[in-house]
Structure 1
Amino acid sequence: MGRGKFKGKPTGRRNFSTPEEMIAGTSARPRTFKQEQAEDEVRDESGEEEESEEEEIERSKGTQGIIETANPNLVRPKNLKAKDADLDKTPELSRREREEIEKQKAHERYMRLQEQGKTEQARKRFRASEFDKAAKS
């Protein structure tokens, strides 16, 4: 039965193999390490032609070999050189900047119309000023 949430303190200690254990083959290293070493030795003994053929034929695991998709995150943006840059081309404004400019233009247009007396607010002010003049006289 478990003794609780945490492990005891002496976990995770390193086990170093002695030279005698390494020679005898009873070291703490995993067995796959020995297999990889043996494969490397066999590859070294075989010719270079076979080695290049093995590198070309790599099987991918699972559906990776069947479905090949381009990862859009791996595509790096192309850098423009200074000589290729077009100085006459103006950069496109963002939506917020474009809306801000439109808002300012609309306000200026409204103020011009108000000075000419063509807006409802200007007409109301004009009527109110006439009413005040009539009341004073």
Structure 2
Amino acid sequence: MPKGRYKGNKRHFTNFEAMEEQKKKEEKERQWRKEQGETDSEEEEEEEGKKKESGSSSSESESESGEEAKEQKSKGVSSLIECENPNRVVNKPKKVTTMNASTAKVQLSRREREEIEKQRATAHYRKLHAEGRTEEARQDLARLAIIRQQREEAAKKKDEEKKAKEAAAANKREQVARALNKKKT
């Protein structure tokens, strides 16, 4: 086979009993060092802290492990190695107080926050635009004023033309009426 290929199971698991023996051996060495006075004060503090933790947990773990061993007899190495799946979601019972607090403060995603912020900004701009405080609104109002003035001028011009037409029509009628009156007499 070429180099670098996986040639088989290279995993090595230590036996639980061997681990226990190693712990006992280390403990005996610590005791011996303590008796001889060769340990540093830092090491002693660490050892005492470990002993306190392991002492309280060892009595509990012994009683629990005895019960668990009776209940569970698993095959192979799985009984020796305790591992926890980091992807496993444990359903914990929720308290009412935490549920109310979580519903009160809803965490929004970045896109949702940006969308809400955008809507607020457009509403604010529209409000300012309606009040005439924006530059664009001022330009629109100036154009509107010019258009109104042009429309007023156009309306006046139309009225004048209309009056001129009416006056011309009335003048023509009068001339026709005079001409008709002269013929009759």
Do the two structures share a fold, i.e. TM-score over 0.5?
Answer: no
TM-score by length of 1: 0.42
Q: TM-score, normalised by structure 2?
A: 0.33
More helix by share: 2
Q: Which structure has the bigger radius of gyration?
A: 2
